[in-house]
Structure 1
Amino acid sequence: MLEQILNTFDVNTDAVATNRGFYYQYLSVLKKWIQNFVEDKNIVTYTEVDNDIKEVGQELIFTQIKCYSSNFSFNSEEIKNSIFNFWLLYLKYNSSNENIKFCFSTNTKIAPREKLLDKWSANPELNDNELYKLCKEKIKEILIKEIKVRKNKKLQNKITEIQKTEIKSASESFKKYIQNTDIEEFVRNIIWEFNSISPEESIISIRKDIDLLLSNLKFNNKPSALLFSVLLSEIYKKSQNTNKDDRCVTNETISIILEQTDDELKKIIDKKFTKLLRIEIEQIQNDIQHIQIKLGQQDEEINILKNNFTDFSKTKIPKELTFIPDINSTEILGWDDFIVDINANLRVKKTISIFAEGGMGKTSFAKKYLKTFTDYDHIIWVSVENSISYAFSFDEVLQKNLGVEFIKSDDINKFKLILNDINKIEGHNLLIVDIQQSEIDNTELKLIATITNWEKIILTRSHIKNFTSFKLPRISFEYAKKIFTSNYSKEEIDNSLLIEYFEYIDYNVLVIELTAKTIENSIDLTLNTFFNLLKDQKLDDNDFNIDIEVNDENEVIRIFNFLLKKFSLNNLNSEERNYIEYLALLPSSNIYIEDIILINGIDFYDENKITIGNIINSLEKKGLVEYSSDRKRINIHRIIREIIIYNSRKEFNPFINCLFYIVWLTARIKEGQNQPSNSIRFLKYAESILNSIKEEYRKSVYQPLLMLENELLYSYRFFIDIGIGNEHNLRWNNLALRAQKYLGSNDPNLAVIYNNLALSFAYNEDFKNAIIYFKKALVIFKKEESKWVDIVITILNNISNIHLKSKDLINAMNVFKEVQEIRRRYNYFDGQQLGIEYRILADSYKIAGDYDKAIELLCGGIKLHKSLNILKRNDFYLSAYYNQLSQLYLYKNDIGQAITNQEMAIKTLEDINLNNSDYLLQMYTIVLSLYQHEGIKNKEEEVINKINLFKNIQS
């Protein structure tokens, strides 16, 4: 129950802000960190994990930081939210931690009328029993009200009735749990810190505390200002790690920093980050008077800029205005024709976007372009990791070569001022903007486009529709092989293996290089082993922990960690992240948009068409999915798909966000039990999900995956002749073994799986095991026979058929009589199983040699089946009846009727659109033999064409 509660009400507290609270939070982390170092406390301090600050030592302490100008009370949303989040953390960690504390820390004070919180803050131990009781009741009251508030918010979202029921159920369970739980330990572990000073004073105060701590001899007399910037940069860097476990700072981190010289320390300062902090500090400290002074200085500063204006002619500034990546040390292969087309278009269009997924070679292409076309007077290359404006504004080399200097008041418009100066440069010039991230600010791109004197190449993962855009072609096999062999010198690899591997990774240039270098630097790793591990989702296997070097990287890397960093998804909102996690489980290519809308249910089609369409458009904009040319399908690059799956596996509850999609997909496939053609479109998605979520990562969605696999395997019986081999039977057997371990012994879902496994044994003529598992299913269903009467009858009819196949008429009729007794007991004379029972009787008379009676009974079964509501019957069985009727007429040597009924069997399958069913092919083959026997040439040619078409489609 607790897991369901946490899944429903957990909130994402790993947010990164850039406001005053953000700065105050980082200062708080820094103070705790260096204080622990000075006091030799072995505590690991996390930021942006579970709460603002998480400290792991002898105690586990979660701290919520609030830098506010207003006061707090128990009615404050911030207090109520913090208590609720603390409670979720308590549920999550209490079982594994004896000492756990929750601290609400703020600069401000308690509201004057808030008496209870004031008393609690003054008596943190809650020694007064009456005070403790009041506090406990208040906490329970807040928790229960917060459940209601959050439930109502979730119910206001556009969700299905199933989801609403799930949320309401979790809410009620949560309330009952709180009402019936002794929360004394939780209450006594809440700590309140109210410093009763203004935000401005709080930042000044904590900064003074930090400066005092940094003056301690343990910091080796390092300049405190330098250490402050270094340590704050380290906290910021750690907080940005994708892996939550890496978002921490320790005493060892400080010891390593102190071993470095001052010059070395200056190099590791994140200048962009600290500059932003200075701006933030100024915004906090400056008052209206200072702003007025700055405004008064504006005219003077503008005049200075005018007087210092430099004539930007091409003869007075260098050709390369920024650092240009190395274009000469390695040969760049491929794109020879494409590069000529781009050059021709660039001369006309001036601004061109070249897009492709990460790792496909966009940067390499641009290097080759520079190496090929050398007639440019000036070149700027800007690599964008955060935002375009950020990259330009903090490129010191560019600003130095432009000969411009800025004052602090220019910071907000620095990007525009730099573009303005660039635009003044005359000549034949080229600007390359290499965007490493997936999200693009179109406003910034439009500003780039205003530079009229330059040709501009925008390299991006996204398809920018308001510029002339070209998709970077994937390189040829020959070039891909050359890239591989240029980084690999061991034994020759067969071309067929290389082709298969390159196709699997979609000719991703980066992955080809990393793979080759990893194998080259290993002792015994081969491409075949590497490929198999990749297909088995074991890219994080220890065999891959091999140090390699990559161009443009300053340190050695390891393939798995590098790819995780390269394809990080930090810029997605929760809705996009959840949906791309689901899409990554589907096939990497040809995901039909209509299919994924229908998976959510036909009743919600119109609503989901908009919602899902918007999400996909956003994901395409961020370069994570690609539309087909007809925009009816989407593809996800294989490597992006793999990395998303790896990231999902690291979550506390892996793939829990995909739970409803799995349940809905199961329902869609199950709807095809009576109309199989309706479900065939969904089978490939189910197979992909089952292949994508490996056994060890299924704990959070285990039961839904069992039922999905059950429906998938059952549906295959309408399309695949599962009696030909035993692979299908092995899958059923494996499913049953796993279901036995996970589901309760009386779970109806387990009984369904037993029944379907028995059917598989029956198709493979393993009648002994078929009977065993049919009876296992019966034991479960008969415990509530009145509830499952239709299924009980179905299983008994299956057992009758087994006896008939064994020519055991006595047992077949005994079971048949049992079915009739059940029908009388419950007055249940409905459903398509009645037709099956006619067929059972017909088979009995056939065995006895009375073909006329068998035909009469089978015709009765056909008539009954046709009388059923078309939505409640499966005409796959009707086709089987006609097929059996054709066989009976053959026994009577009535070829005409045999042909007629076989044609009816074929037409029935064709009418329900089972055109790719193995059974249809078998029926074509049978009727072809009959046509040939009777010499019906025109129909013979027609069916031969159908057989050839069928084989072509399958191939």
Structure 2
Amino acid sequence: MSQELIIFKKDTDAVGTNRGFVYQYLKTLIQWLKSHQNKNDVVIYCEVEDDIKQVNVEKGSIEWTQVKCYSSVFNLESNDITKTLYNFFVLYASYESFDGKFRFETNSRLSSRDQLFSDWVEKQSLLENEVELLTKLVIHIQKSLGEMLTEKSDSLKKDIASKIMKLESTKSSATKKKNKPLIENLKIELLNLGNNIKLMKQKIEESETLSDFIKRIEWSFDKVESEHAIQQLRDEAHILLEQIIPKQGSIILYFNRLLSEIFFKSTEAKMDERCIDRELLQEILNETESEIKEFTDQNLIQQLEGLEIKVIGKIDGLDSKLDTIDQKLNNVIADRVSSYPDVMLIDLPTAEIKEIEAILAEESDNQSKLEVKIRKINIKDPEQEGNIIKLATELRCRYLIYLQKLKLKGLHKEYEALKSLETKVQVHCTNTVIVNDETLALENSEFKIERFNPAAFWLNFQNDLKKILKEQKLRSKIDIEDTVIFAQMYQMAAECYLRWHKEGEN
């Protein structure tokens, strides 16, 4: 099957980092070191098609790895699991001539409430003989993949149709003539898209194909808390380095150098330049000490160490510092914005008091829910609590008013951009509530869970939303202000998709 099917994959090629980038880079380093030690002729790609991609051209095999460092638990309905399975399947269908394998590695654990997922993980190496379990998995994953394909294909169709409509709407005859070949190309693209959608649907509906796909997936849940997982991986990398580096060499020196190289590769603009192999590792091992230091990003290493400490909560106030990785990501966004003169900027316009009052009158129940949830954060200063409620109310009302005006004015592109982002926020809010409920149920179990802090969670959740916003900016020619996603967060709280507290604790 053609690799044109890659268009249906969720975009996991974003340059930069994600929430567990320390964990991801350490996992990549360990794969790199093991490959060198075992003399495997594989090329490892960083941030290409998935977190880690290993290609063995001689054997015709590819192994993709998705890694997650979370404090939450996973189930088959988790957004991360659903997206991972979808990405894996598109890659599976796109690389039919290769022997593909798929790995999901996390420090976290399975939800105790998801029996189907638990059975899958427990019997993953025995699926060939587990006919009943395999049948259940095929049915479940067929439904999940079908829904995601529909969502993705609808979005792609809408995007192409919007471009055609914009080109056809011009009144100038000269411009119409100029746009004609562009329109024809887009129509061909739309036709090809329809054909590819059919191919993907056929693959999803083939039970034998899905069975083969499922048997190629390997799950690894370490059941280790995030701070311990990071240290555990560092220790593993140090042990491997001790066996590889020249005698009398400094483990820390080479560790920092190799980790820097992985970061450099991950941020390369061209995907084919994001690769590491045995030859490159040997070149680094042959470097002099001065060369190693020269090619080590000291700021990165300091920030990585700081972020690791931040994960285990040993540095107060580190949240106020912008780490090097985030700065580089911001630079990428800024470069993209500056390189497109027609880039769209979306910010919330001010609203008249009467407009806000009208929204509150229509949504009195929702407003009440929002205020209750903010109060359950237990902010000690009543004045500060009042200010937050006032700000939250104003932002969500301005957002709803803005959506109404965009719809009335027929500004579809801006409206769709906001609704697309809102859907991502809604999914994240919903999953977070589910995870918090699960975590509450586990507090008396054998898996150690720290006491839930509503205020800390509220602040951390806003940082999560900022990362979602950054990903959105990277993938589109649209610049959206932070106030928009915060307004969406408050609206989700009002609509009951989000709460910043645990029901069992308040």
Q: Tell me the TM-score normalized by structure 1.
A: 0.30
CA distance in 2 between partners of 1:41 and 1:266 (Å): 28
Q: What is the number of equivalent residue pairs in this alignment?
A: 320
- Higher-Rg member (1/2): 1
Q: In the alignment, which residue of structure 2 is the partner of 1:105?
A: 105
- Please report how far the alpha carbon of residue 49 of structure 1 lies from its aligned counterpart in structure 2 after TM superposition: 0.7
Q: In the alignment, which residue of structure 1 is the partner of 2:383?
A: none
1:417-432 equivalent positions in 2, closer than 5 A: none
> What's the CA shift string for 1:245-295, capped at 9, x where partnerless?
1211111112111212222211111122222212212211224xx53xx8x
Q: In the alignment, which residue of structure 2 is the partner of 1:84?
A: 86
Q: Tell whether the 8 Å contact from 1:35 to 1:213 is kept in structure 2 after alignment.
A: yes
Q: Tell whether the 8 Å contact from 1:102 to 1:191 is kept in structure 2 after alignment.
A: yes
Q: Which one-letter code corresponds to 1:104 in the other structure? A: F
Matched, 1:143 2:145: yes
1:601-640 equivalent positions in 2, closer than 5 A: none
Instruction: Summarize the Cα distance change of 1:173–1:266 in structure 2 as closer, same or farther, 3 Å threshold.
Output: closer
Q: In the alignment, which residue of structure 1 is the partner of 2:377?
A: none
- Please report how far the alpha carbon of residue 40 of structure 1 lies from its aligned counterpart in structure 2 after TM superposition: 2.1
Matched, 1:178 2:207: no
Matched, 1:128 2:130: yes
Matched, 1:285 2:304: no
Q: In the alignment, which residue of structure 2 is the partner of 1:29?
A: 28
1:450-849 equivalent positions in 2, closer than 5 A: 571-572=335-336
CA distance in 2 between partners of 1:225 and 1:577 (Å): 45
Higher RCO (CA < 8 A, seq sep 6+):
2
The 3-state SS of whatever aligns with 2:224 is coil
CA distance in 1 between partners of 2:208 and 2:275 (Å): 33
CA distance in 2 between partners of 1:181 and 1:413 (Å): 47
> What's the CA shift string for 1:646-703, capped at 9, x where partnerless?
xxxxxxxxxxx9xxxxxxxxxxxxxxxxxxxxxxxxxxxxxxxxxxxxxxxxxxxxxx
1:164-563 equivalent positions in 2, closer than 5 A: 171=197, 174-180=200-206, 182-183=208-209, 184-287=211-314, 291=316
Q: Tell whether the 8 Å contact from 2:4 to 2:94 is kept in structure 1 after alignment.
A: no
Instruction: Summarize the Cα distance change of 1:609–1:14 in structure 2 as closer, same or farther, 3 Å threshold.
Output: closer
CA distance in 2 between partners of 1:42 and 1:120 (Å): 31
Instruction: Summarize the Cα distance change of 1:178–1:412 in structure 2 as closer, same or farther, 3 Å threshold.
Output: closer
Matched, 1:46 2:45: yes
Instruction: Summarize the Cα distance change of 1:170–1:108 in structure 2 as closer, same or farther, 3 Å threshold.
Output: same
The 3-state SS of whatever aligns with 1:15 is coil
- Please report how far the alpha carbon of residue 76 of structure 1 lies from its aligned counterpart in structure 2 after TM superposition: 0.8
Q: Tell whether the 8 Å contact from 2:15 to 2:269 is kept in structure 1 after alignment.
A: no
> What's the CA shift string for 1:719-748, capped at 9, x where partnerless?
xxxxxxxxxxxxxxxxxxxxxxxxxxxxxx
> What's the CA shift string for 1:741-760, capped at 9, x where partnerless?
xxxxxxxxxxxxxxxxxxxx
> What's the CA shift string for 1:818-863, capped at 9, x where partnerless?
xxxxxxxxxxxxxxxxxxxxxxxxxxxxxxxxxxxxxxxxxxxxxx
Q: Tell whether the 8 Å contact from 2:51 to 2:65 is kept in structure 1 after alignment.
A: yes
- Please report how far the alpha carbon of residue 117 of structure 1 lies from its aligned counterpart in structure 2 after TM superposition: 1.7
- Please report how far the alpha carbon of residue 203 of structure 1 lies from its aligned counterpart in structure 2 after TM superposition: 0.7
- Please report how far the alpha carbon of residue 6 of structure 1 lies from its aligned counterpart in structure 2 after TM superposition: 4.0
Q: Tell whether the 8 Å contact from 1:65 to 1:105 is kept in structure 2 after alignment.
A: yes
Q: Which one-letter code corresponds to 2:55 in the other structure? A: V
> What's the CA shift string for 1:381-436, capped at 9, x where partnerless?
xxxxxxxxxxxxxxxxxxxxxxxxxxx8995699xxxxxxxxxxxxxxxxxxxxxx
CA distance in 2 between partners of 1:203 and 1:250 (Å): 23
> What's the CA shift string for 1:526-559, capped at 9, x where partnerless?
xxxxxxxxxxxxxxxxxxxxxxxxxxxxxxxxxx
Q: Tell whether the 8 Å contact from 2:33 to 2:240 is kept in structure 1 after alignment.
A: yes
CA distance in 2 between partners of 1:21 and 1:63 (Å): 14
- Please report how far the alpha carbon of residue 2 of structure 1 lies from its aligned counterpart in structure 2 after TM superposition: 5.5
Instruction: Summarize the Cα distance change of 1:571–1:186 in structure 2 as closer, same or farther, 3 Å threshold.
Output: farther
> What's the CA shift string for 1:444-485, capped at 9, x where partnerless?
xxxxxxxxxxxxxxxxxxxxxxxxxxxxxxxxxxxxxxxxxx
Instruction: Summarize the Cα distance change of 1:154–1:56 in structure 2 as closer, same or farther, 3 Å threshold.
Output: closer
Q: Tell whether the 8 Å contact from 2:45 to 2:276 is kept in structure 1 after alignment.
A: yes
The 3-state SS of whatever aligns with 1:144 is helix
CA distance in 2 between partners of 1:192 and 1:409 (Å): 32
> What's the CA shift string for 1:615-658, capped at 9, x where partnerless?
xxxxxxxxxxxxxxxxxxxxxxxxxxxxxxxxxxxxxxxxxx9x
- Please report how far the alpha carbon of residue 158 of structure 1 lies from its aligned counterpart in structure 2 after TM superposition: 9.4
CA distance in 2 between partners of 1:143 and 1:70 (Å): 24
- Please report how far the alpha carbon of residue 137 of structure 1 lies from its aligned counterpart in structure 2 after TM superposition: 2.5
The 3-state SS of whatever aligns with 1:215 is helix
CA distance in 1 between partners of 2:93 and 2:292 (Å): 42
The 3-state SS of whatever aligns with 2:336 is coil
Q: Tell whether the 8 Å contact from 1:242 to 1:570 is kept in structure 2 after alignment.
A: no
Q: Which one-letter code corresponds to 2:14 in the other structure? A: A
1:777-926 equivalent positions in 2, closer than 5 A: none
CA distance in 1 between partners of 2:79 and 2:333 (Å): 30
CA distance in 2 between partners of 1:277 and 1:81 (Å): 27
Q: In the alignment, which residue of structure 1 is the partner of 2:118?
A: 118
What percentage of aligned pairs have identical amino acids?
A: 27
Q: Tell whether the 8 Å contact from 1:53 to 1:63 is kept in structure 2 after alignment.
A: yes
- Please report how far the alpha carbon of residue 155 of structure 1 lies from its aligned counterpart in structure 2 after TM superposition: 6.8
The 3-state SS of whatever aligns with 2:104 is strand
- Please report how far the alpha carbon of residue 178 of structure 1 lies from its aligned counterpart in structure 2 after TM superposition: 1.9
Instruction: Summarize the Cα distance change of 1:119–1:252 in structure 2 as closer, same or farther, 3 Å threshold.
Output: same
Q: Which one-letter code corresponds to 1:243 in the other structure? A: K
Instruction: Summarize the Cα distance change of 1:246–1:577 in structure 2 as closer, same or farther, 3 Å threshold.
Output: farther
Instruction: Summarize the Cα distance change of 1:219–1:115 in structure 2 as closer, same or farther, 3 Å threshold.
Output: farther
Q: Tell whether the 8 Å contact from 2:54 to 2:63 is kept in structure 1 after alignment.
A: yes
- Please report how far the alpha carbon of residue 30 of structure 1 lies from its aligned counterpart in structure 2 after TM superposition: 0.5
CA distance in 2 between partners of 1:257 and 1:25 (Å): 21
Instruction: Summarize the Cα distance change of 1:263–1:47 in structure 2 as closer, same or farther, 3 Å threshold.
Output: same
Instruction: Summarize the Cα distance change of 1:91–1:578 in structure 2 as closer, same or farther, 3 Å threshold.
Output: farther
> What's the CA shift string for 1:342-361, capped at 9, x where partnerless?
xxxxxxxxxxxxxxxxxxxx
Instruction: Summarize the Cα distance change of 1:173–1:61 in structure 2 as closer, same or farther, 3 Å threshold.
Output: closer
Matched, 1:14 2:17: no
- Please report how far the alpha carbon of residue 130 of structure 1 lies from its aligned counterpart in structure 2 after TM superposition: 2.2
Q: Tell whether the 8 Å contact from 2:6 to 2:91 is kept in structure 1 after alignment.
A: no
> What's the CA shift string for 1:563-619, capped at 9, x where partnerless?
xxxxx999437x969999xxxxxxxxxxxxxxxxxxxxxxxxx968987xx9xxxxx
CA distance in 2 between partners of 1:181 and 1:222 (Å): 54
- Please report how far the alpha carbon of residue 15 of structure 1 lies from its aligned counterpart in structure 2 after TM superposition: 1.7
> What's the CA shift string for 1:278-330, capped at 9, x where partnerless?
2212211224xx53xx8xxxxxxxxxxxxxxxxxxxxxxxxxxxxxxxxxxxx
CA distance in 2 between partners of 1:576 and 1:168 (Å): 30
Instruction: Summarize the Cα distance change of 1:2–1:570 in structure 2 as closer, same or farther, 3 Å threshold.
Output: farther
Q: Tell whether the 8 Å contact from 1:66 to 1:107 is kept in structure 2 after alignment.
A: yes
Instruction: Summarize the Cα distance change of 1:129–1:93 in structure 2 as closer, same or farther, 3 Å threshold.
Output: same
Q: Which one-letter code corresponds to 1:28 in the other structure? A: K
Q: Tell whether the 8 Å contact from 2:9 to 2:86 is kept in structure 1 after alignment.
A: no
Of the three residues 61, 64, 81, the one matched with 1:62 is: 64
The 3-state SS of whatever aligns with 2:208 is coil
- Please report how far the alpha carbon of residue 22 of structure 1 lies from its aligned counterpart in structure 2 after TM superposition: 1.2
The 3-state SS of whatever aligns with 1:68 is coil
Q: In the alignment, which residue of structure 2 is the partner of 1:562?
A: none
Q: Tell whether the 8 Å contact from 1:220 to 1:258 is kept in structure 2 after alignment.
A: no
Instruction: Summarize the Cα distance change of 1:203–1:578 in structure 2 as closer, same or farther, 3 Å threshold.
Output: farther
Q: Tell whether the 8 Å contact from 1:38 to 1:218 is kept in structure 2 after alignment.
A: no
- Please report how far the alpha carbon of residue 119 of structure 1 lies from its aligned counterpart in structure 2 after TM superposition: 1.7
Instruction: Summarize the Cα distance change of 1:228–1:570 in structure 2 as closer, same or farther, 3 Å threshold.
Output: farther
The 3-state SS of whatever aligns with 2:51 is strand
